[in-house]
């Protein structure tokens, strides 16, 4: 009997709280006085994933080259074929000295990064007889014979390597997508067979 009264009181209290919450008037906030403390995250546009292992180096080189007014104008006027063929890389000789200095520094940093990757690969393989120059030739996006200076051949090699790697990456992604679609269709047909 006592449990029944406690249960009844508890239910009454619960129903009262629910009714009070449902009958409460929402607080109206003046939208003009509220300041947006956090900037909209969607305003930041993330660059697409290119799948290139030298993507950061490529972006940095492009950013440095676009700081030069003459080269930026040539880049905007150039068509895709002119860029792919390497004719645009000849304009590198006309960029200012500080741009060339920044490009040289970027190349030295990239060569250092690649050397660290090679050293890590050698350490993991524990094969001392491996040819260091042969490993460097795997990285065809820069001229490994001249690791200190960024020249027009480096820009040409970077453009050609990025173009071919991106085309290969697109083909690979397209093939993966086709396989995914075929698997989805296969699963759909299997499901229809079971019905």
Query: What are the sequence ranges of the domains in the chain?
Result: 52-177
pLDDT digits (tens, 9 = 90+) for 121-178: 777 666 556 555 555 556 667 777 777 778 777 888 888 888 888 888 888 888 999 9
pTM (global) more than 0.85? no
Residue 189 predicted with pLDDT over 90: yes
Residue 89 predicted with pLDDT over 70: yes
Tokens 């006027």 belong to 77
User: What tokens does 96 get?
Assistant: 């200012």
The helix-helix angle for 55-66 and 152-194 (nearest 10°) equals: 130
């Amino acid at each position: 009997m006592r449990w029944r009264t406690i249960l009844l009181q508890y239910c009454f209290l619960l129903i009262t709280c629910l009714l009070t919450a449902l009958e409460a008037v929402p607080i109206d906030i003046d939208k003009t006085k509220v300041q947006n403390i956090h900037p909209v995250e969607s305003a930041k546009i993330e660059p697409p994933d290119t799948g290139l292992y030298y993507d950061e180096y490529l972006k940095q080189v492009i950013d440095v080259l676009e700081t030069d007014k003459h080269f930026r104008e040539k880049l905007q006027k150039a068509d895709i074929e002119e860029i792919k063929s390497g004719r645009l890389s000849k304009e590198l000789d006309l960029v200012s000295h500080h741009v060339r200095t920044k490009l040289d520094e970027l190349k030295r940093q990239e060569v250092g990064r690649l050397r660290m990757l090679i050293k890590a690969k050698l350490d993991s393989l524990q094969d001392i007889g491996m040819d260091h120059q042969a490993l460097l030739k795997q990285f065809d996006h820069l001229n490994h014979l001249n690791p200190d200076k960024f020249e027009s051949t480096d820009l040409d090699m970077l453009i050609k390597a990025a173009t071919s790697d991106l085309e290969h990456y697109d083909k690979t992604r397209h093939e993966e997508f086709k396989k995914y679609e075929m698997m989805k269709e296969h699963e759909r047909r299997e499901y229809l067979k079971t019905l």
